[in-house]
Amino acid sequence: MTTPFGKALRELRERKGVTQKEMASAIGVSAAYLSALEHGKRGLPNFDFLQRVAGYFNIIWDEAEELFATARASDPRPVLDTIGLPLEYNRFANELAAKIRQLPPDVIKSLQAVLDAAEKRG
């Protein structure tokens, strides 16, 4: 199972026509690390790594910022900080953490739609 960042990284690499080994060598990481990122088996890459990727692909600022945002949204182990929030926020966050693996895709899509609507409201 991959992450949005893993998918984006693989697509960038394939567009450039390079192997994981070639890219890894050029940016100073192992091919195993790139493979783990592409397959969603590594956590959020650090900013230095993201800058090296953007430089390697010579991508413009807007595309680089999109890549960075995709990386932030792809952390396979997100942390929800509910300190200082009302009790129901803490309860909801913990219940979601406990049940997320059992939620069917249609429920995830519905929850995402609720988050998107809330973001639009401000």
Domain boundaries of the chain, sorted by first residue:
4-72, 87-121
Question: Which residues have CB under 8 Å from 45's CB, separation 6+?
Answer: 5, 37, 71
pLDDT tens string for the chain (122 positions)?
A: 788 999 999 999 999 999 999 999 999 999 999 999 999 888 889 999 999 999 999 998 888 999 999 998 888 788 899 999 999 999 999 999 999 999 999 999 999 999 999 999 97
CA quadruple 81, 85, 91, 92: dihedral positive or negative? negative
Query: Of 1.10.260.40, 3.50.50.60, 3.40.50.300, 1.10.569.10, which CATH number belongs to 4-72?
Result: 1.10.260.40
Euclidean distance between CA atoms 121 and 27, whole angstroms: 41
- Report pLDDT for 28: 96
- Report pLDDT for 2: 83
Q: What is the pTM of this model?
A: 0.71
Euclidean distance between CA atoms 114 and 92, whole angstroms: 14
